[in-house]
Every structure is written in C-alpha cells, then in structure tokens.
Amino acid sequence: MTKKKGGSELFKYAVGTLCVLAAAVSAIFAKSSGAFEKNKVPEAENTADTTVEFLDVGQGDCTLVSSAGHYMLIDTGDRDSDDGVLNYLKESGIETLDCMLLTHPHADHIGEAADIAEQIEVKSIIMPLVPEELTPTSAVYEELLDTIEEKGIDFFQAEDDKLSLGSCEVFTYAPEEEYSSLNNYSVLVKIVHGENSFLITGDCEVQEEKEYLKRGIDLSADVLKAAHHGSDTSSSSEWLSAVLPQYTVISCGAGNKYGHPDDETYSRICKYSPKVYITAEDGGILFYSDGKGLSVKTGRKLTGE
C-alpha cells in the first residue's frame, strides 16, 4: 500500500511538473515571432479530397494521385529489396489502383510495376507505344508483360486522351514524332483538379518538349514534375515559360551517379518556378488540393521511421 501511495504521489509530481513545463513552452511560443500558430492548418489540407504525392523513391520517379477514393500511380520507381512503393500502398490501405500509368519502360520508372500488379488489384495499365528497336529486354519489363497477361489486366497504349479519376480530369499526351531516345516516348500527364493542375513529364527531353510546344498543348500547371530527374537533357526555357509552375519537384536519389539535378538546369528551373523541391533533400512531396488552393507537406521517407 505504502508503495502504491508513493507511486501516486510521484505521478502527481510528474503531472504537476509537466504542466509547469507545458506552460513555459507555450509562453515561449507565444512570445516568439507569432509564426507558430496552433491549429493554423492551410485550408486546402482541411478540405482536400485530392492529393498528389511525389514519393521519395531514390533515383527514379513515382507519383501517387488520390482523388475521392480513387487512385492512380504514375511510375513506380526502380525495383528495390524493400518493395518500398508496394509496402507504402499497402500501409496506406490502398487495395485497388484504378490505373497504373507508366510513362516509359525504363527500370527507374517501371521497377516495381510487376510486384505491385501481383499483389494489388490494378484495373488498367497505360504505357507508350515504342519502336521495336527501343523496346527494352530488361527482366523488370519482361516480368511486367507476363504479369499483365497472367492477371488479365486491361492494357492501353498511351494516346491523347482525357480520363477521369475521382474529382480530377487526367489528360494524357503521347508523342507523334519518331525519336532515337526512349526518354522521348514519355507519356505526358496533366492532372486538373478545379483550379489546380499538375504536369508529370517522365523523362521527356527537349526534342519531345519541342513537339508538345509545337502542337500547342496547354502546358500551364501549378506544379511541375521536372523531366528526367533535373538532367541537362530537359527543362528548356521555352518549356518552363509555357508551364510557369508555382512549384517544381525534381525526383532523384541522393548522391546519384548521374549528377542529377544538373546545376545549370536547376538554376534555370528556379528562374521560372518560385519554389523547387528535390526529393533527395526534401523526402516525399505531398500536395493537398481542395480544387482552389494547394498546401504542401514534405519529408516523408518511404523506408525507415
């Protein structure tokens, strides 16, 4: 009994001390600049029915679009031993992807596609039509084709089209000209949610950028996923001035062997885009959209934590 009483007194002391500490802490925050306002959450986050998340997948691309209970995955990052994207989808409670759009069949974009389609229901897959001489022979690509066939997944070749996902409109554009680089067959995706728009570019290089500029497509967007991991092959001034993004996301791995993002390209992007995020430094970049405004959260790592 004595012991119990002692414990309870200790508890009271601890609570009392915590209250004093809490009061001191809130006094400090109250005195400081006023920038810290409790419960001051941006409107879009409170009212968003749509999110667009650029996952931190190291050297690769992966974007998850969620709108009113519908999900679209654009690229899957490279295959890794952690199954980072697959596990993230599972942990997020996503049992069905309405669509998996693969911008082009390089491993850093389709790496986890087969594993995801094996374990999560994928209603449809969209990929670009590429010339035979550029068709990859990689294991990840072969496995993906096998999985599509085994699972009987609806498969579509990318074309200029308009789809709907929850409360979003999704515009896809496929190149019409012929190119020698597989990157230039990247499907261009524009997601429009009310007044907000996102442009996802795969690894599109300047030649493909020129084609879309020539075709007069409306490239303007609030958020741009910079093409080809911020490489010097992409993001020309003409392109950036047509998009004029408020935010740009560069998806690349820390210390990657390609030197992405390229310094000059990064500076050019900064000229046209007031805010630039790099997944290697900022972690995942999550945009909330309520159709009017955007708010953004950064820092989510796919593995660890």
In the block, residue with structure tokens 């062997």: 257
Site pattern 162..191 for Zn ion (x: CB under 5 A): ------------------------------
- Residue 208 contacts Zn ion per CB under 5 A: no
List phi, psi (to 5°) of 177.
-85, 170
Shortest separation between residue 106's beta carbon and Zn ion, angstroms: 5
Taking the CA of residue 8 as centre, how many other CA atoms within 13 Å lie in the half-sphere pointing to its CB? 5
Instruction: Kindly state the smallest distance separating residue 104's Cβ from Zn ion, in Å.
Output: 8
Q: How far is the CB of 120 from Zn ion (least distance, A)?
A: 23
Q: How far is the CB of 234 from Zn ion (least distance, A)?
A: 10
Which of 203/290 has CB closer to Zn ion?
203
Q: Whose Cβ is closer to Zn ion: residue 203's or residue 208's?
A: 203
Nearest distance from C-beta of residue 60 to Zn ion, angstroms: 6
Nearest Cα to 150, choosing from 114, 186, 184, 180? 114
Out of 108, 112, 115, 290, which residue is the one contacting Zn ion (CB under 5 A)? 108
Q: How far is the CB of 261 from Zn ion (least distance, A)?
A: 12
Choose between 44 and 226: whose C-beta lies nearer to Zn ion: 226
Of residues 253 and 284, the one with the C-beta less far from Zn ion:
253
Closest-CA residue to 227 (of 210, 249, 245, 211): 249
Applying CB under 5 A, the site for Zn ion has a residue count of 2
Span near Zn ion by CB under 5 A; candidates 71-79, 140-148, 200-208, 255-263 = 200-208
Contact region for Zn ion (CB under 5 A) — 106-114, 129-137, 219-227, 295-303?
106-114
Residue of 75, 115, 203, 205 that binds Zn ion (CB under 5 A): 203
Binding residues for Zn ion, per CB under 5 A? Answer: 108, 203
